């Protein structure tokens, strides 16, 4: 006779693989934006994928702070509008933003293991 979980219970499994945001940062996949300004640790976001940053958020190999602030503001507006002013909060959001070159493209905003959110392109998901 097999032991199956009862309603509301979760089966336990052996973890096969784990890859943390810190490891992704060390591998150059994620960039911790709170390193730019320690006050940003109070905010909703802590990581942006390097792939997304390459879409106009670097200027001569350095992060463009005005462009990052624009990204953060657009991402925050997206989360605010999709969550009905933060009342219907979720762990995943998506929508279009305007990139520094004027193009409008979709981004994903996903909650990570820190409880904060990572901003990324759909192909980074």
Does residue 48 contact residue 56 with C-beta atoms inside 8 Å? Answer: no
Instruction: List Cα–Cα distances, 69 to 23, 36, 57, 64, in angstroms.
Output: 25, 11, 10, 9
What's the token pair of residue 121?
């392109």
pLDDT in tens, 56-99: 998 888 999 999 999 999 999 999 999 999 998 899 999 999 99
pTM: predicted TM-score of the whole model, two decimal places: 0.84
Residue 4 has pLDDT above 90, yes or no: no
Are residues 57 and 63 in contact, defined by beta-carbon separation less than 8 angstroms?
yes
Beta strands in the chain (DSSP E): 30-32, 45-49, 58-59, 62-63, 92-98, 104-111, 117-120
């Amino acid at each position: 006779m097999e032991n199956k979980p009862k309603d509301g219970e979760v089966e336990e499994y052996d973890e096969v693989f784990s890859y943390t945001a810190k490891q992704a940062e060390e591998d150059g996949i994620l960039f911790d934006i709170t390193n730019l300004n320690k006050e940003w640790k109070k905010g909703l976001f802590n990581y942006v994928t390097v792939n997304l940053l390459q879409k106009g958020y670097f200027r001569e190999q350095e992060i463009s702070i005005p462009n990052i602030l624009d990204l953060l503001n657009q991402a925050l507006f997206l989360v605010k509008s999709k969550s009905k002013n933060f009342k219907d909060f979720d762990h995943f959001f998506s929508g279009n933003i305007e990139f520094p070159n004027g193009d409008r493209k979709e981004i994903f905003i996903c909650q990570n293991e820190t409880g904060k959110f990572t901003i990324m392109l759909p192909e980074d998901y």
